Amino acid sequence: MENHGVKYVWGPLRALLHKWPERTRLLVLSVVTGLFCGLAAVLLKVTIHAIQHGVETLAGPRPWLYLLFPGVGMLLSLLIVKYIVRDDIGHGVTKVLQAVSKNESKIKKHNTVSSLVTSALTIGFGGSVGAEAPIVYTGAAIGSNLGRYMGLSYRGMTLLLGCGAAGAVAGIFNAPLAGVLFTLEILLFNLSMSSILPLLFSTVSATMVSYLLLGRTTQFTCTLVEFSMRNIPFYLVLGIFCGLTSLYFLRTTLFLEDWFGKNLKNPYLKWLICAAGLGLLIFLFPPLYGEGYDHVGQLLNGQGSGTVWFFALILVFKVFAMTFTNAGGGVGGTFGPTLFVGAMAGYVVASALNLLHPGLVPVPNFVLVGMAGLMAGVMQAPMTAIFLIAEISGGYELLLPLILTATVAYGVTRIFEKYSIYTKRIAQRGELLTHDSDQAVLTLLKTDSLVEEDFVPVRIDDTLQALVDAVTESHRNIFPVVDARGRFQGYVDLSDFRRDMFRPDLYGKARVYNYMRSAPEYVYPDEPMDQVMRKFEKTGAWNLPVVAREDRRYIGFVSKSKIFNAYREELRDFSQD
């Protein structure tokens, strides 16, 4: 039941906005979405810091407790998700992409709050993950639910979902341009120039809220050295290293997640193993505790200490720490760990070069640029990486090496891996919307909505008389053949028995199975449209039967002509301003 206070506030606003064109409504709602996302980002930051302060107070002179606290946060999140939320809320950015491509941009209402609470507990207690993906999921949920409540179309709701994600990134980082680029590169597809305006409104609104409540500060303060052209070859080396590290990060993460999912079904046993594993890693490598941004800040100001091998091992094991946190019940994203590993990559490369020739390259510069390089590779979003790092650090004087390293890292990763860490699994299921309009439109088409059910079925053992009677009832030339349980057996084409229709002496003798053909392929109602089109191409058929996947029960037919008509309509809607 809706809260009466909410209805009292939003009811008149919805009635007023419904009188305006959708484009005008979107501009207003993008500002509202940005304001809410800015508040959500501030709330998440403040809550995490408050929990961290409480943890520090509890630990006091007993530093060994820091090995146990991450497991506590993971357990609390696990219990909330299992018994209160009762839904999978991990992998926030991937879930947003799934909502756009598969669920008409609809995200459940609880996601406006659930990711905030659980990620704050996970990170506040020292989980080795980032807060960015949960806040993106929260922001997208805010935009999606606001758009649905205000009666926007699928396209308008998708854009408002993107405004929520953009506002969330802008609010958490105080980086409005990066928020827009994040949405354009990672979440949405084929947006026109007029669609960018709501994104800008949302990010500026969210950033203003963050500035007003938390002050105008950058995420990282840096002590940088003026860029020198002689260092360009070394930034190329950094780009290659970041590209290879991105490949390791992406594939190792997905492998570990699959392993835990397949081999550990009991959530409490999984939590116990992951909490113990994370505690051991933190004992060996203390920078793996929490987001690790404090350690990144030290490196950016030339205050880090340790051997190249120590930081190289941190780089390697951060992926394990992150996966332990998420697999053990914690809620957090890969966004923050990507920045952390990128900083470690920059430090390792710079320190190794300086071992060969002391003072050869400035370490803080390479730490900063490495963050952009790894983000470009892991997320396959070079523009977001370049401008996010520049915005959150104020390091615009390093724009050229940021561009160079991010581009090289992205290129190296793409040689071996076509998809980002967010899109790989969705792409494997054929559900990914891309910047390729044709592929995106095919993904938007749903097979079950194109099934034609106006065919008259006949039983396999029916006589020719029943087949002739079916002709008088149908305006189709195809007659699906089913058995006594309604399972599809084949079909009869009118041309197969046209001559015998005029031979009454065969009406009681000839049977349907005498005229039946086998279908060259079956189509399932939940099958992705690109797979359906491959079946049409392979068989050369113009119509294919649609059957239930579990028992081959006949449902209807899908035709090329209907798919082509739906494709043209979708492409027209998809491409309009």
**Above 90 in pLDDT, residue 576?**
no
Residues 124, 235, single domain; the answer is no
In 264-292, alpha helices (H): 267-284
Can you name the residues that pair with 517 across neighbouring β-strands? 491
Residues 468, 488, single domain; the answer is yes
Residues 138, 177, single domain; the answer is yes
Residues 254, 345, single domain; the answer is yes
* Domain presence at residue 224: no
**Above 80 in pLDDT, residue 101?**
no
Overall average pLDDT of the 48-69 stretch:
90
Using an 8 Å Cβ cutoff, are 162 and 183 in contact?
yes
Quote the pLDDT of residue 430: 63
102 vs 106: CA distance, rounded Å:
9
* Domain presence at residue 240: yes
Side-chain half-sphere exposure of 437, counting CA atoms within 13 A? 12
* Domain presence at residue 437: no
**Above 90 in pLDDT, residue 386?**
yes
Residues 120, 30, single domain; the answer is yes
pLDDT tens per residue across span 244-277: 999 999 999 999 999 998 898 899 999 999 999 9
Residues 55, 126, single domain; the answer is yes
Range of the domain at 424: 229-432
Using an 8 Å Cβ cutoff, are 391 and 173 in contact?
yes
pLDDT tens per residue across span 204-241: 999 999 999 988 766 777 888 888 899 999 999 999 99
165 vs 187: CA distance, rounded Å:
8
Residues 425, 452, single domain; the answer is no
Residue of higher predicted confidence among 12 and 241: 241
Query: Which range (9-18, 113-122, 281-290, 300-309) has the least confidence?
Result: 9-18
Mean pLDDT of the chain, nearest integer: 87
**Above 50 in pLDDT, residue 152?**
yes
pLDDT tens per residue across span 492-502: 998 888 888 88
* Domain presence at residue 262: yes
Per-residue CA distances from 13 to 28, 29, 157 (Å): 11, 11, 17
Quote the pLDDT of residue 577: 46
Residue of higher predicted confidence among 96 and 114: 114
* Domain presence at residue 58: yes
Residues 298, 331, single domain; the answer is yes
Query: Which range (22-31, 422-431, 555-564) has the least confidence?
Result: 422-431
Using an 8 Å Cβ cutoff, are 152 and 386 in contact?
no
Which residue has tokens 């408002």? Answer: 160
Residue of higher predicted confidence among 142 and 221: 142
Which residue has tokens 């005029």? Answer: 502
**Among the three residues 432, 458, 477, which one is the final residue of a domain in this structure?**
432
Quote the pLDDT of residue 193: 62
pLDDT tens per residue across span 300-346: 988 877 789 999 999 999 999 999 999 999 999 899 999 999 999 99
Quote the pLDDT of residue 438: 54
**Among the three residues 366, 400, 432, which one is the final residue of a domain in this structure?**
432
**Among the three residues 432, 455, 477, which one is the final residue of a domain in this structure?**
432
**Above 50 in pLDDT, residue 2?**
no
Overall average pLDDT of the 391-409 stretch:
89
Number of folded domains that form the chain: 3
Closest CA to 376 of 424, 411, 350, 337: 411
Residues 290, 423, single domain; the answer is yes
Per 3-state DSSP, the chain is made up of helix, strand and coil in percentages (nearest 5) of: 70, 5, 25
Q: Kindly report the CATH number assigned to the domain that includes residue 49.
A: 1.10.3080.10
Token pair in block for residue 210 = 């963050």
Query: Over pLDDT 70: what percentage of the chain?
Result: 90
The model carries a pTM of 0.79
Using an 8 Å Cβ cutoff, are 139 and 164 in contact?
yes
* Domain presence at residue 529: yes
4 vs 515: CA distance, rounded Å:
65
**pLDDT-based confidence at 202, cuts 50/70/90?**
very high
Residues 451, 410, single domain; the answer is no
**Above 50 in pLDDT, residue 1?**
no
Residues 80, 190, single domain; the answer is yes
**Above 60 in pLDDT, residue 189?**
no
Quote the pLDDT of residue 372: 95
* Domain presence at residue 223: no
Residues 355, 386, single domain; the answer is yes
Question: CB atoms < 10 A from the CB of 239, how many?
Answer: 27
* Domain presence at residue 183: yes
